[in-house]
Amino acid sequence: MTAYLLDLLRLPVGVRRFLMTEALYGIGIGMYALVLNLHLLSQGLRENEIGTLASVGILIMGVSAIPVSLLARRMGRKRLLVAGILFIAAGNAFYASSGNLLGFFAAQTLVSVGLTLVETTETQLLFHYCSSRQDETRAYSLMFAVFTAFAGAGTLAAGNISVVMATGGGYRNQLLLACLVLLVLGTIRGLWLPSEKRTSSEKANLRKTERLKLKGKLPGKTIWLFSSFLALLGGAFALTGSFLNVIVKFRLDWTDDKMSLLLAANGLILFFCSLLTPYVSERFGQSASLTFAFIGNVLFFGLLYCQFPTTIFLFLFLMRGGGTTMLSNLADSQLMSTFEDRERDLFAGMRSVFRSVGSSGATLLAGRLLAGRDYRTPFLLTAIALSLAFVFYSLWVRPRLSAGSRSNDSRIRE
């Protein structure tokens, strides 16, 4: 374990700079995620309207994912990543300044396009800075660890600001502060992250890949299969993930500062689980780690459906956060590492499209359940959806990952 922690300090300079700036992204998104739904409720929207708004936003992400993935290697992943951060900042400003549904849809469009630009480029850019496949797994988990730790800090800050600076304007102060943090992040990453460097062979490979796309070559079977799996996984987590703040606030009848403290503690759990994910994967093997992560998540979500005293609910809630983090990190890093660099942009786009479709439908359903004041059923549905995703993984995904491992880390090129 000590050797593993020391190795983390020796990651390439590009990875270290990326991870240091990820703290600001966590703070900005943490503030935004806590207050957005509460702000919309304070402006008179119902839960089902918020669910519709979120679903439209997710669909926008799906529609824009493929064009972004095609632009990533031509325009540069770093450039698109910075643009995405600035789009999210603008969306926060629009949310803070708007007071009607049309304005909220415009704000959500900006945020969705920004999130697409970030999510479709950040992993590939981070992996581009890595020097080995082991570095890729560790860097991805560290990125998520830093993000979740500082998202917890942002959540805690936003909750306390709502108590100290309570106004009749909802949660505008927190949204504007999140906008400012993201603007600073975009500036720092634009100036400080290393530029992408391509050798002459990589440039030739890029031109060859583009010619194949122009000829209409479709993504291979492996990309379709992995993307379908992530659609199931994304939909399962979206049943509760999009509304965690609403569920906690109204199921426990808590104030904003108490809720933000819980979500900050959840972020701390996520941080440690993200940090330990590569160690667990290396210690017990990828297949066994993913299997136990699935089983643990199904168990935690199933138990959260039941009625328990508040103390037990809080314990299960925090364990659920750690479990979802470990499962997501294991799945995303392993699937992305399967492909060669030239295939990763296409997979990232397909992944976003499929995940958006699954998340959109799940978010819409969850919004309707919460509009009926049902704060328990989403946990049960998540447990069922994760069970289906595990069956899909066992039958079709795991054999392909195992085949890639047996071929001495050769990349899948279907």
Q: What is the DSSP string of 32-80?
A: HHHHHHHHHHHTT--HHHHHHHHHHHHHHHHHHHHHHHHHHHHH-HHHH
Nearest to 100 by CA among 175, 20, 55, 45: 45
* Contact by Cβ (8 Å): 268, 353: no
How far is it, in rounded angstroms, from Cα 22 to Cα 10?
18
How far is it, in rounded angstroms, from Cα 189 to Cα 11?
18
How far is it, in rounded angstroms, from Cα 31 to Cα 178?
6
Residue 225 confidence (pLDDT): 95
The two tokens of residue 7 are 């190795």
How far is it, in rounded angstroms, from Cα 99 to Cα 81?
29
Cα-based distances in Å from 210 to 62, 345, 387: 21, 12, 38
Eight-class DSSP state of 393: I
How far is it, in rounded angstroms, from Cα 108 to Cα 170?
17
Cα-based distances in Å from 218 to 124, 215, 224, 233, 353: 21, 9, 10, 23, 15
How far is it, in rounded angstroms, from Cα 38 to Cα 40?
5
How far is it, in rounded angstroms, from Cα 270 to Cα 255?
23
Beta strand ranges found along 173-311 (DSSP E): none
The two tokens of residue 229 are 């799996």
Eight-class DSSP state of 130: -
Q: Which CATH architecture has domain 8-406?
A: Up-down Bundle (1.20)
Q: Rounded to the nearest 10 degrees, what angle do helices 101-119 and 77-97 cross at?
A: 160
How far is it, in rounded angstroms, from Cα 277 to Cα 268?
14
Task: Show the low-confidence residues of the chain (pLDDT under 50).
Answer: 212, 214-216, 408, 410-414
Residue 375 confidence (pLDDT): 94
Residue 32 confidence (pLDDT): 95
* Contact by Cβ (8 Å): 230, 328: no
* Contact by Cβ (8 Å): 311, 119: no
